[in-house]
A and B are shown apart, each in its own frame.
Chain A
């Protein structure tokens, strides 16, 4: 595999293996878009089928959703800075910004869990109606992805501490940065088409 190693350019692209892994991850993200598309389609079709459960407009609060959105947008930004630091060759910068990203991600998760518990208290659970089922499956799948990303990044931080920046670790960090930005892209659409439209209609 290392028949074709480059001397310059970002570390993660210097081996053929690195290039192929990153390309493969883009294909995975394309498939993830389709997974979320099915959940968005379910949500859109079941919109308004609330039965006796509360209406989305009654439960969605602009304040908390906006805080969650800003936390995730900021974490996407700090994740970008982490990659910037990695490309400057700074392990310390990379680790610091990655930890900030993780803390913001954890904050986001905390708010989401609080939000779900709050909705359940108000009578909107996975079982209350078709609408709320589709809502919790869509938002919950995104939350599950965030949880997975946090666990994954913690393992990578341990590996970075042990091995430092190599073509292999830098490729792994670059791939998780793609994953993290992608979660933000999905959240933008959840924020817009679920929360904003739910509060308007």
Chain B
């Protein structure tokens, strides 16, 4: 119980500093770095997951042994996050696989242009 009576909440301060640093790093990666768009998206999503982990483990006492009911909360959160990943990735996959609306027309135009160039020669 000693950890609950400590005067200075070291864990919270470390978590706070880390989360601020991770946010700034994500902003820098997105707006200030020369990475390609794909790598920006991958890296800032990884940073977001790390930051969510900091919130859950350092702020929300997720692994606290006091909940003696035998269920550790991270079970629920893990299931929630797995379902979230399946819903988001699954929707994206189903809705955009095979016919990419964003790049689709553009791509066709490019092919047409290439075709015209070829026939011009």
Contacts and interface: CB of A to CB of B under 8 A. Distances in A.
Interface of A: 8-10, 13, 19-20, 22-23, 26-27, 29-34, 36-38, 40-42, 44-45, 48-49, 62, 66, 69-70, 73-74, 76-77, 79-81, 84, 87-88, 177-178, 181-182, 184-185, 188-189, 191-193, 196-197, 199-201
SS of A interface (majority)? helix
Contacts of B27: 62, 66, 196
B87 interface: yes
Contacts of B80: 29-34
Interface in B11-57: 12, 15-16, 19-20, 23, 26-27, 30-31, 37, 40-41, 44-45, 47-48, 51-52, 55-56
A6 to B, nearest CB: 9
A40 B88 contact: yes
Chain B interface SS verdict (over half): helix
A191 B26 CA distance: 10
Contacts of B118: none
B31 A29 contact: no
B95 A45 contact: yes
B92 A45 contact: yes
A41 B52 contact: no
B115 interface: no
